[in-house]
């Protein structure tokens, strides 16, 4: 989503005037958010450099679904003038553009820093320069809490669980000390703190979402990011899936429609929520280990996976499950789509969006199984 391609402005007929800016708006989350807003009649400008594989297809889908209404700026968030031009017209900003993979950050920490920290500062400075800064929502990550080495874990069946029953029942809340781990954790954590500080020092009405594993349609899942989609795609391709560690590591998963609901609630309540960080995820009821996801895929969807194991990767949390209680108490939000239903929906979307691949693989879609 953010590589140095310069800036090319493309408009599709949306009138000039205040609008919603989504940086990284051609990515997975941005596409779903833009579709929701456009469907509600809100003008949207997507700012994205289209460097991530698959995002051009997302843009084509948005244009076809909302002809003549979507604005697109092909630009990098590191391009300060391009960011300022966009933000100067914004009445709200969703800042999603980022370098998103721990592994990539380990290979090129400087680029990771430039995109995640410098890019975020460009957005914040552009917002601060406005006579009345527009509301801003920044998507951070659970990686700001580090590897959680002090959380005692027990292995039960095919997953890790905290030895502390209270923590096992509720998950990690915002009281957890920050402990940046990996260049990616450092860059996202630094950006997270800058957003909160601009709310405090410069009255930018901003809120931070520290998100767990988001999944759903339009996700270009890879080995490094978007693991639920990656597992499904590898199974459909009959490819080899690499599991790092023992596969018992646990994450809570959140379907993208539920995340978009939370984002819009945060914007509606920005006057009272500004300056706060919220943990956002599926919670204990939507937690899965890697092996449990494979079991679900085999049992519900009939997808068998060839698997090999490799060593643990740096910074990989063996357990992270979100406690979203703070945001729920503030807004009434809670996830509505359970993990089993969400995984099935994502699989159905992959089947419908890539029918040739499914036919070639010989795999059966969920619709044929139900």
**194 — phi, psi (to 5°)?**
-60, -45
Residue 366 pLDDT > 60: no
**pLDDT, tens digit (0-9, with 9 covering 90-100), for 197-209:** 999 999 999 999 9
- pLDDT band at residue 287, thresholds of 50, 70 and 90? very high
| Res 138: pLDDT | 98
Q: Report, as an integer, the average pLDDT of 350-364.
A: 51
Closest CA to 289 of 248, 254, 323: 248
Dist. CA 366–CA 35, nearest whole Å: 25
Q: What is the DSSP letter of 114?
A: I
Higher local confidence (pLDDT), 238 or 150: 150
Closest CA to 53 of 18, 82, 28: 28
Closest CA to 244 of 107, 103, 53, 99: 103
In a domain, 88, yes or no: no
In a domain, 16, yes or no: no
| Res 59: pLDDT | 95
Dist. CA 368–CA 370, nearest whole Å: 6
Given a contact cutoff of 8 angstroms between Cβ atoms, the answer to whether 234 and 290 are in contact is no
| Res 117: pLDDT | 98
- pLDDT band at residue 315, thresholds of 50, 70 and 90? low
Dist. CA 155–CA 172, nearest whole Å: 18
| Res 370: pLDDT | 20
Q: What is the DSSP letter of 349?
A: H
Q: At a CB cut-off of 8 Å and minimum separation 6, what does 129 contact?
A: 84
Strand 159-162 vs strand 153-156: parallel, antiparallel, or unpaired? Answer: antiparallel
Q: What is the DSSP letter of 322?
A: B
| Res 166: pLDDT | 97
| Res 223: pLDDT | 59
> Residue 322 pairs with which residues in a beta bridge?
172
In a domain, 19, yes or no: no
In a domain, 37, yes or no: no
Given a contact cutoff of 8 angstroms between Cβ atoms, the answer to whether 357 and 349 are in contact is no
Q: Which residue is associated with the tokens 């079991």?
A: 295
Provide the token pair at 347: 């699989």
Residue 169 pLDDT > 70: yes
Give the chain's mean pLDDT.
Answer: 89
| Chain length of the chain | 370
In a domain, 139, yes or no: yes
- pLDDT band at residue 2, thresholds of 50, 70 and 90? very low
Helix, strand, coil percentages (3-state) for the chain, rounded to 5, are 45, 20, 35
In a domain, 64, yes or no: no
| Res 227: pLDDT | 85
| Res 68: pLDDT | 82
Higher local confidence (pLDDT), 229 or 84: 84
| Res 137: pLDDT | 98
Closest CA to 83 of 118, 135, 59: 118
Q: Report, as an integer, the average pLDDT of 166-192.
A: 96
| Res 239: pLDDT | 75
Q: Is residue 184 annotated as a catalytic residue, yes or no?
A: yes
Q: Which of 184, 215, 319, 320 is catalytic?
A: 184
CATH number where 105 lies: 3.40.50.720
**pLDDT, tens digit (0-9, with 9 covering 90-100), for 113-159:** 999 999 999 999 999 999 999 999 999 999 999 989 999 999 999 99
In a domain, 52, yes or no: no
Residue 218 pLDDT > 60: yes
| Res 354: pLDDT | 63
pLDDT above 90 covers what percent of the chain? 73
**pLDDT, tens digit (0-9, with 9 covering 90-100), for 72-128:** 999 999 999 999 999 999 999 999 999 988 888 999 999 999 999 999 999 999 999
| Res 222: pLDDT | 64
Range of the domain at 108: 98-369
In a domain, 34, yes or no: no
Q: How many domains does the chain have?
A: 1
């Amino acid at each position: 989503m953010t590589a140095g391609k310069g800036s090319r402005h493309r408009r599709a007929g949306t009138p000039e005037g205040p609008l919603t800016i989504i940086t990284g708006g051609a990515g997975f989350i941005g596409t779903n958010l833009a579709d929701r807003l456009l469907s509600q009649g809100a003008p949207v400008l997507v700012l994205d450099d289209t460097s991530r594989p698959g995002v051009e297809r997302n843009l084509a889908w948005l244009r076809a679904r909302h002809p003549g209404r979507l604005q697109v700026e092909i630009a990098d968030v590191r391009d300060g003038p391009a960011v300022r031009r966009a933000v100067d017209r914004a009445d709200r900003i969703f800042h999603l553009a980022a370098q998103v993979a721990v592994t990539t950050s380990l290979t090129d920490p400087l680029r990771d820093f430039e995109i995640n920290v410098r890019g975020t500062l460009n957005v914040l400075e552009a917002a601060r320069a406005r006579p009345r800064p527009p509301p801003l929502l920044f998507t951070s990550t659970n990686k700001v809490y580090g590897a959680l080495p002090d959380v005692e874990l027990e292995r039960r069946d095919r997953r890790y669980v905290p030895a502390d029953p209270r923590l096992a029942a509720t998950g990690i809340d915002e009281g957890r000390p920050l402990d940046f781990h990996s260049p990616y954790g450092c860059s996202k954590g630094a950006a997270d703190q800058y957003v909160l500080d601009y709310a405090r020092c410069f009255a930018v009405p901003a809120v931070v979402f520290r998100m767990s594993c988001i999944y759903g349609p339009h996700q270009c899942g890879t080995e490094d990011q978007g693991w639920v989609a990656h597992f499904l795609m590898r199974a459909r391709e009959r490819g080899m899936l690499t599991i790092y560690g023992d596969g018992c590591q646990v994450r809570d998963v959140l379907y993208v429609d539920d995340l978009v609901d939370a984002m819009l609630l945060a914007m509606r309540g920005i006057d009272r929520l500004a300056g706060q960080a919220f943990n956002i995820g599926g919670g204990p009821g939507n937690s899965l280990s890697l092996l449990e996801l494979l079991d679900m895929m085999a049992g519900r969807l009939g997808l068998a996976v060839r698997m090999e194991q490799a060593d643990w990767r740096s910074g990989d949390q063996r357990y992270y499950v979100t406690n979203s209680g703070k945001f729920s108490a503030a807004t009434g939000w809670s996830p509505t789509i359970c993990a089993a239903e969400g995984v099935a929906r994502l699989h159905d979307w992959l089947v419908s969006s890539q029918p040739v691949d499914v036919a070639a693989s010989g795999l059966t879609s969920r619709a044929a199984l139900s």
